Amino acid sequence: MIARVIVDVTTNQTDRLFDYLIPAPFQAAIVPGVRVVVPFGPRKVQGFVIEVAKTSTIDAGKLKPVEQLVDIEPPLTRELLLLSEKVKESTLSFHNTALKVMLPAAMRAKYKKEAMIHPETAYELVAKEIKRYFTSAEAVLDWDELLKKAGDAEKRLLLKALKEKTILVLPKVGTQGKKKKQTLVHTVRSPEELAQLKAALPANAVKQQDVLQHFIDRPEPVPVAELLEAVRGSRSTVKALADKGILCLEEAEVWRDPYEGRHYERQASLPLMEEQRQALEPILQAIDGEYHRTFLLRGVTGSGKTEVYLQAIERTLAKGKEAIVLVPEISLTPQMVTRFKERFGSDVAVLHSALSMGEKYDEWRRIREKQVRVAVGARSAIFAPFENLGMIIIDEEHETSYKQEDAPRYHARDIAIERGEYYQCPVVLGSATPSLESFARARKGVYELLTMEKRVNDVQLPDVTITDMREELRNGNRSMFSAALIAAIKQRLQRQEQIVLFLNRRGYSTFVLCRDCGYVAECPHCDISLTYHRTTHSLQCHYCGYTETPPTRCPSCEGESIRFFGFGTQKVEEELKKILPDIQIIRMDVDTTRTKGAHEKLLDQFGRGEGDILLGTQMIAKGLDFPNITLVGVLAADAMLHLQDFRAAERTFQLLTQVSGRAGRHEKAGEVIIQTYSPDHYSIQDVKSHDYLSFFQKEMLLRKQAGYPPYFYVTLIHVSDTDLPKTIEVTKKITNYLRSKLSPATKIYGPAASAIPRIKDRYRYQCMIKYKVEPYLTKILHEVVQTYQGEMSRSDLSIVIDTNPYMML
């Protein structure tokens, strides 16, 4: 038998199936979806078995055998294998990359080179400089580590020893995570042979006979513990048969036991509001009718979307099927997790980045072993290996974090719909502020639109006031808080109500400037200004990690008027305490949430009323549902509007609506104060009137005029290299090639320098394609990559193609 394998080598030439012989002991165990270790050139690499075939087009004599079996059970299902091909196609990535993204990080292969004294060299004859490292004939060292530690002279010596075959270096494939090993027993003998061997055993060797009978009945490999239990035998029995060469023992990876969850009170489902009932109805129909449909649920903040999801899942489980719920990383709060655990108890697995690699692996395994039927998680949970999927939900579907920014550059929404079609099950996209793409599709009838305009129990949406910070300045207020905001905060303190203070930091940072000459501290490796960090009193580059101490004197004019501009959460806290010294502030930002569980602890504190103000960045904009929050203040609302991104207005509207939605969700009425320098911008005005449709129409018009999605598709080609003329040259060639190949209606922009023209000493250029119909685009882009493949493997050149870009930088 032949295994057709995708190897873990990411180059264009290796992006195809390779055939390997399946040795007899693995015949039964190697099925599509298992991972194996195979020889590949001089190396050993991991690979995924995609197909098992009877014959190969290559001469059997030229085929190499599979060397090792990594999994006992295939981690990837047949459906996921099929899906991987679609991901590869649509994102222009390597098949190997598309397969690996579906597995938890703990399962990714890790390669090591083991070095030892060459078995054909007598240890006594080895030079003593080498013996310093290899202290015995058996010593095995990590080759790369060894070279890293060695000085130049020693390195030369080691390499010479390698060349002269004093040292032998062998590749070794491992896995990222810690794993438990298990001994597998298998046999290469046929059942007929085994029957003969059994007959030939002495009559008193009963246990040995039982073991052979076991393999006559079930020839596949079996964990030794399981075998011993089945035949009530001891290890010595197995060992005796192994010594006779009848059985073979092999180490293989096993899944660890899942960890015990915490205790959650069971919550029954709530009686629905009329709007919730109407939204749920068509979803239930699709579940019952077992057909695929994509629903877009637009429900204002606090309209009870989660309850709709929960009841849809309940019906799915009642049908004996499984559900996936995607939630953006930052709103995967303990509060959110609790809502699912309370309803579905131990039937829920949670996959999010706060878990350690091992914990994530455990949760993933609980899904694969069918111990749970609901998976709640961030983007990658869309690949949860269920085999009887009945429902996929994407909460906050507009979130850009659903798009992966590394290869494979997939969008979870596309994967959800793909899987929904395969399983003929509904997909529900939910949001208070749907993405323009999704809402446009719903309008065209591609998705079915479900709407909830009212909050639960008819609670009013909060009153939104916009304060013009330019006006404040004219009135002599130079602080970062408007008079209205301070007055509102004081009022809440008196009433013992809580406040959320949101600082929009995206697109905004603290930088160093010389007031005399205008010098701005910039990264020497990237074309971007350095950010000032108060905690460490340092200047840092957010792209390459470069750090320096802030100058006390201007490096350019030697003046002393160096100032730090912009403000962070710490600064806000300090300033607010100057005005209101007794105020209790819970600050949530990267600094205060670095340790594990800190996020949860701070939110708990706030929930218990131990703080007056929850102050934070993007982290606090979503998912919070605390009844005592009656005021939301937004600082620097327009910071994002100035980003070079066609979605800047959309993101501003979405973020402001989300954060406003934290106020007055229950009995107490809510108020929102938005501070801005662009009070008239429609993305801010429409937040005030809670008018999604108005925003949608204005934004659509602009997208149409500018030729952006959802009217046009966009593909972005990024070219980078350490050599500037070469970067420009390559981008120019690609652009010209595309112009010659694509239809005249398609617009091609470039070559143009990227918004950040240099990162980590690499120059960055881009070419943008805007098109409506371009049936051969994928093929043409493949040709582009093909053309530069050799060049890319030889030099610093890199070409990255994004067929659905969300990061325009």
Ligand X SMILES: Nc1ncnc2c1ncn2[C@@H]1O[C@H](COP(=O)(O)OP(=O)(O)OP(=O)(O)O)[C@@H](O)[C@H]1O
Positions in the binding site for Zn ion (CB under 5 A): 514, 516-517, 519, 523, 525-526, 541, 543-544, 546, 554, 556-557, 559
* Residue 557 touches which of Zn ion, ligand X, none (Cβ within 5-8 Å per kind): Zn ion
Tokens representing 245 are 């060469």
The letter for the amino acid at 94 is F
| Residues making up the chain, counted from first to last | 809
248 labelled ligand-binding = no
* Residue 526 touches which of Zn ion, ligand X, none (Cβ within 5-8 Å per kind): Zn ion
Is residue 435 a contact point for ligand X (CB under 6 A)? no
**Of 100, 305, 352, 505, which lies in the binding site for ligand X, with binding defined by CB under 6 A?**
305
CB 340 within 8 A of CB 310: yes
544 labelled ligand-binding = yes
Contacts for 395 with CB less than 8 Å, ≥ 6 apart: 305, 306, 309, 325, 326, 327, 328, 331, 430, 431
Closest listed residue to residue 251, CA positions, set 187, 188, 180: 180
CB of 490 to ligand X, least distance (A): 27
DSSP secondary structure, 733-789, as one string: HHHHHHHHHS-TTSEEEEEEEEEEEEETTEEEEEEEEEES--TTHHHHHHHHHHHHH
CB of 301 to ligand X, least distance (A): 3
Residue number, 94 or 519, with CB nearest to Zn ion: 519
* Residue 276 touches which of Zn ion, ligand X, none (Cβ within 5-8 Å per kind): ligand X
CB of 518 to Zn ion, least distance (A): 7
Q: Which residues pair with 323 in a beta bridge?
A: 374, 391
Is residue 625 a contact point for ligand X (CB under 6 A)? yes
* Residue 301 touches which of Zn ion, ligand X, none (Cβ within 5-8 Å per kind): ligand X
CB 686 within 8 A of CB 674: no
In 647-689, DSSP assigns E strands to 671-676
CB of 312 to Zn ion, least distance (A): 46
**Of 75, 221, 302, 434, which lies in the binding site for ligand X, with binding defined by CB under 6 A?**
302
Residue number, 225 or 517, with CB nearest to Zn ion: 517
Is residue 301 a contact point for ligand X (CB under 6 A)? yes
767 labelled ligand-binding = no
**Segment near ligand X (CB under 6 A); pick from 84-92, 127-135, 303-311, 673-681:** 303-311
CB 187 within 8 A of CB 246: yes
Tokens representing 704 are 């149409």
Is residue 661 a contact point for ligand X (CB under 6 A)? yes
Residue number, 390 or 462, with CB nearest to ligand X: 462
Is residue 303 a contact point for ligand X (CB under 6 A)? yes
Closest listed residue to residue 375, CA positions, set 556, 104, 565: 104
Contacts for 41 with CB less than 8 Å, ≥ 6 apart: none
Determine the 3-state secondary structure of 569 from DSSP: helix
* Residue 318 touches which of Zn ion, ligand X, none (Cβ within 5-8 Å per kind): none
425 labelled ligand-binding = no
Residue number, 653 or 763, with CB nearest to ligand X: 653
Is the peptide bond preceding residue 462 cis, with omega within 30 degrees of 0? no
Is residue 25 a contact point for ligand X (CB under 6 A)? no
Residue number, 272 or 580, with CB nearest to ligand X: 272
Residue number, 303 or 754, with CB nearest to ligand X: 303
Closest listed residue to residue 115, CA positions, set 73, 88, 149: 149
Helix or strand (DSSP H, E) at 535: none
Helix or strand (DSSP H, E) at 732: helix 724-741
CB 675 within 8 A of CB 684: no
* Residue 302 touches which of Zn ion, ligand X, none (Cβ within 5-8 Å per kind): ligand X
Tokens representing 355 are 């878990």
The letter for the amino acid at 285 is Q
**Of 93, 166, 208, 276, which lies in the binding site for ligand X, with binding defined by CB under 6 A?**
276
Contacts for 635 with CB less than 8 Å, ≥ 6 apart: 480, 481, 501, 502, 503, 504, 572, 675
Is the peptide bond preceding residue 710 cis, with omega within 30 degrees of 0? yes
* Residue 517 touches which of Zn ion, ligand X, none (Cβ within 5-8 Å per kind): Zn ion
CB of 11 to Zn ion, least distance (A): 29
Contacts for 696 with CB less than 8 Å, ≥ 6 apart: 436, 439
Residue number, 219 or 430, with CB nearest to ligand X: 430
Closest listed residue to residue 622, CA positions, set 327, 297, 324: 327
Residue number, 469 or 514, with CB nearest to Zn ion: 514
**Of 38, 70, 224, 273, which lies in the binding site for ligand X, with binding defined by CB under 6 A?**
273
* Residue 66 touches which of ligand X, Zn ion, none (Cβ within 5-8 Å per kind): none
For residue 537, the number of C-alpha atoms closer than 13 Å in the C-beta half-sphere is 2
Residue number, 433 or 467, with CB nearest to ligand X: 433
CB of 57 to ligand X, least distance (A): 55
Residue number, 551 or 566, with CB nearest to Zn ion: 551
* Residue 273 touches which of ligand X, Zn ion, none (Cβ within 5-8 Å per kind): ligand X
Residue number, 626 or 763, with CB nearest to ligand X: 626
CB of 629 to ligand X, least distance (A): 12
Tokens representing 715 are 């593909």
Residue number, 306 or 654, with CB nearest to ligand X: 306
CB of 623 to ligand X, least distance (A): 6
Site residues for ligand X, 233-272, by CB under 6 A, read 270-272
**Of 47, 74, 233, 299, which lies in the binding site for ligand X, with binding defined by CB under 6 A?**
299
Contacts for 262 with CB less than 8 Å, ≥ 6 apart: 341
Contacts for 431 with CB less than 8 Å, ≥ 6 apart: 296, 297, 298, 299, 395, 396, 397, 398, 438
Q: Tell me the C-alpha distance between 609 and 746, whole Å.
A: 57
**Segment near ligand X (CB under 6 A); pick from 112-120, 230-238, 304-312, 362-370:** 304-312
Q: Tell me the C-alpha distance between 223 and 239, whole Å.
A: 14
Contacts for 345 with CB less than 8 Å, ≥ 6 apart: 264, 266
* Residue 661 touches which of Zn ion, ligand X, none (Cβ within 5-8 Å per kind): ligand X
Q: Pairing between strand 713-721 and 762-771?
A: antiparallel
CB of 398 to ligand X, least distance (A): 11
- Site track 450-489 with ligand X (rule: CB under 6 A), x = hit: ------x---------------------------------
* Residue 734 touches which of Zn ion, ligand X, none (Cβ within 5-8 Å per kind): none
Closest listed residue to residue 748, CA positions, set 760, 764, 731: 731
Within 10 Å of residue 763's Cβ, how many Cβ atoms? 22
Alpha carbon 58 to its chain centroid, in Å, reads 39
Residue number, 303 or 675, with CB nearest to ligand X: 303
Is residue 633 a contact point for ligand X (CB under 6 A)? no
* Residue 432 touches which of ligand X, Zn ion, none (Cβ within 5-8 Å per kind): ligand X
Binding-site residue ranges:
514, 517, 523, 526, 541, 544, 554, 557
Q: Binding residues for ligand X, per CB under 6 A?
A: 270-273, 276, 299, 301-307, 432, 456, 623, 625, 661, 665
In the annotated binding site for Zn(2+), the residues are 514, 517, 523, 526, 541, 544, 554, 557
